[in-house]
Structure 1
Amino acid sequence: MSDPYVPPAVWSPDTVSGGVFAGINRPSAAPRIEAELPRGQHQLQLYTLATPNGQKASIMLEELLEAGHAAEYDGWTIEIGQGDQFSTGFIAVNPNGKIPALLDLRGPQPVRVFESGAILLHLSDSFGAFGGRAAARAEVLSWLFWQVGAGPFMGGGFGHFYHYAPEKLEYPINRYAMEVKRLFDVADRRLQESRYLAGDEYTIADIASYPWLSAFVFGTAYGDAREFLSIQDYHAVDRWVREIADRPAVRRGRLVGRVTGPPEKQLRERHSPADFAGKDV
């Protein structure tokens, strides 16, 4: 066991933390490289990567298209491991330097939308879709923001300390494992009493939560986290995940911005439905 860490009186970014993100993490939000973002022919430009947060936006756009809305878009990969998110062009769309980000060119002036929850709300409101009926609107928003608050515990908390940190430490792993299991229990209890998170209707609450919860259910998140957390015990979540996974728009949306795995599971750019030809959807 390593010696206990004693925080200095004043923290300095010169401290080496190690880990896979050590090369890109800095305490500054300023852009680091001069580079413009690409633009395609459509009025909606999505800049993303197929992480759970990134999948929310692409799934939403594909669901809108599946439902018959005029939501054609160009999807561009932002490779966060290479620092694409720190370009001047990307920071202009998202000053927080995180994916996904959306540029909406449908009006007289470009509208930037950043943070995945805001993108879902913006698209839901502007297209009048997947926002829930009026009586259920508060329930939809409550579950949407439940997920927005839960994501950092699952990724930045549990995922970092259990999978990415250069050293396994009992306290943070226990702390965040406890919280992830509690969040799964919240969802499981809700899904025992309703088909979807906000009720009987599929909404942006489900679109937001699905990429995160499904990653644990399917065992694609953080190595052996499914076994470690006994995810198989959450039967209602499992039923809900597998039902949503069968939606054609979800299968397409999960591919957008994927740069790992076999070629049939990758889609670095998306400009039309034809881009999915030959892909494993």
Structure 2
Amino acid sequence: MKFYYHPTPNPMKVALLLTEAELPFELIAVDTAKGEQHHADFRALNPNGKVPAIDDNGTRVFDSNAILLYLAEKSGKFLGNPSERGELLSWLMFIATGLGPFSGQSVHFQRAAPEKIAYALNRYLREAERHYEVLNNHLKGREFIVGDSYTIADIAAWAWVDRADFVLGAGRLPEYPEIQRWFTAISARPAVAQARLIGKGIEFKAQGDEASRRALYPSNYPRG
């Protein structure tokens, strides 16, 4: 299995699941600031030009949450109780369509946008906060997001909450005590420490110059 990776939240979900499930893989770095996600060979694997992606002996899977489902089903692990399948899918999609995208946009407009647009800064930060509130309320009295066991919903959420200082602002995670409690427990898992080591030693280009902005946000620029 080939795992196409960059050290950002969505690939980290997959890194953690691969580690937890003890699935062997070949790591292939994709330097998104250099635009390697737009190369023809990678676009053949993921037409959307995003990481992560996997090639499982000829089966391509792209989008981090699709990969989580695929690998959980392949390994038979971290899917929870079958009777809670609807709950699992609901929280997985909550992360895929809400927590993750609004967190990403909050970071973008705080740190990457060339102009500080008050409306955008407020909109995406407030929506990120709202999603944190939803998850925080849900976790009251719970050890895990779904049922009584660790699932891919926890893995998916962990990778984004790991960037809470960037999304919400430094030191704000304690404002969501249930998430902080849950996050601390997940982060103590041995597989998390192992997953954090994936890709260590690979030098990725730093973001911030014009070339990296064009590589990362090509839709902001005229075609051609």
When normalised by structure 1's length, the TM-score is 0.69
Partner of 1:255: 197
The answer (yes or no) to whether the contact 1:49–1:256 under 8 Å persists in 2 is no
Query: Any stretches of 5+ residues in structure 2 without a counterpart?
Result: 204-224
User: Is structure 2 residue 94 aligned with structure 1 residue 146?
Assistant: yes
State which structure, 1 or 2, has the greater radius of gyration over its C-alpha atoms: 1
Partner of 1:78: 30
In structure 2, how many angstroms separate the alpha carbons of the residues matched to 1:237 and 1:56? 17
Report the secondary structure of 1:254's partner residue.
helix
Partner of 2:11: 54
Partner of 1:235: 177
In structure 2, how many angstroms separate the alpha carbons of the residues matched to 1:247 and 1:59? 10
CA RMSD of aligned residues (A): 1.5
Letter in 2 for 1:232: P
The correspondence of residues 176-215 of structure 1 with structure 2, limited to 5 A, is: 176-215=124-163
In structure 2, how many angstroms separate the alpha carbons of the residues matched to 1:267 and 1:89? 24
Q: How big is the shift at 1:267?
A: 4.1
In structure 1, how many angstroms separate the alpha carbons of the residues matched to 2:201 and 2:25? 14
Q: How big is the shift at 1:167?
A: 1.6
Greater than 3 Å deviation, 4+ residue runs: none
In structure 2, how many angstroms separate the alpha carbons of the residues matched to 1:80 and 1:47? 11
If asked which structure has higher relative contact order (CA below 8 Å, sep 6+), I would say: 2
In structure 1, how many angstroms separate the alpha carbons of the residues matched to 2:120 and 2:190? 38
Task: Provide the aligned length of Structure 1 versus Structure 2.
Answer: 202
When normalised by structure 2's length, the TM-score is 0.86
Partner of 2:44: 92
Q: How big is the shift at 1:215?
A: 1.3
In structure 2, how many angstroms separate the alpha carbons of the residues matched to 1:241 and 1:64? 19
The answer (yes or no) to whether the contact 1:256–1:268 under 8 Å persists in 2 is no
The answer (yes or no) to whether the contact 1:54–1:99 under 8 Å persists in 2 is yes
In structure 1, how many angstroms separate the alpha carbons of the residues matched to 2:154 and 2:2? 23
Q: How big is the shift at 1:99?
A: 0.2
Partner of 1:27: none
The answer (yes or no) to whether the contact 1:124–1:204 under 8 Å persists in 2 is yes
Partner of 1:35: none
Q: How big is the shift at 1:174?
A: 0.8
